[in-house]
Structure 1
Amino acid sequence: MPDIPVKRAETYYVPQPPLAPDAWALVPPAARCARWYELRQQRRIELPDGLLLGYITYARIDAGRWVADCPCGSAQVVTPTDPRLGCPECGAAWFPLTFPDDVAAAEAAVAELLPAERFWWHPDDAAWNRPPPEQLPVDEPTQPAAAPFREATT
């Protein structure tokens, strides 16, 4: 399989033509999400003013992208190089993100999978409460097979 890296905010949210490829070079990676939304919604997106302390938001790999969820229900592509989430949907605050201590190891754990099959959750993220795949129960049929179809007689 070709080497396809896990997508991060700086490689996902990029300016589209007619903008130059380096048009957002001075925009912090976490803020590029708002610039990207602005292009698509054709309106200005105000970024949050402050950092919300005391709220733990975990980053995860979801279908080959680093993603984090906002409490409003929206999710954005994020990056470990700028570990914060500013939601363009609700604009509540900048949420500090918790990435694994070894980001490269998390990315390496999913590297052999197809991008659409790459999923990784932070081990401390109890909200997902997902067991490792080898511990998933196997579904056993619980009901007998249905009787064959019979035509109605009149």
Structure 2
Amino acid sequence: MQAVPMQSVYEAAGGTEGLVRLAAAWHRRVLADEVVSHAFSHGYHPDHTERLAAYWAEALGGPPTYSETYGGETEVVRMHSGNGPHEEMDRRAIACFDQALTDAGFTTDPLRRALHDYFAWATTTTMSRYHHSADDVPAGLPIPRWSWDGLQP
């Protein structure tokens, strides 16, 4: 008898549909937050929700749609770089994400914990690593992969 492979975080989250639902809930929350909404004050791509969901999907074990369609990690990190330290904004973005998890129906562990841990890690590490300039971000960064056990090598 063959062992059934454990679902990826992507699959457990309902695939692309579940992550689009989460991205939409998060986007609504951050636009309503007086601090985090500042990050979107310059505007945002009309397909932001779908792009964000595709990025999360790839990072969480889903298809490489983001990399194949929109670019890679370098482009994502550059969008989030060169704005100086923003710890309060990061904390609030994570709080908005936690609220969005509930809004999108992700209320039970271990899935809720895995999604929270991924978002908190990405927000406080890769997305906030290059405070001084987007030009400091190296080319060719791969999208980090996250699983039930955290960051994957």
TM-score by length of 2: 0.23
Larger radius of gyration, structure 1 or 2?
1
TM-score (normalised: structure 1): 0.23
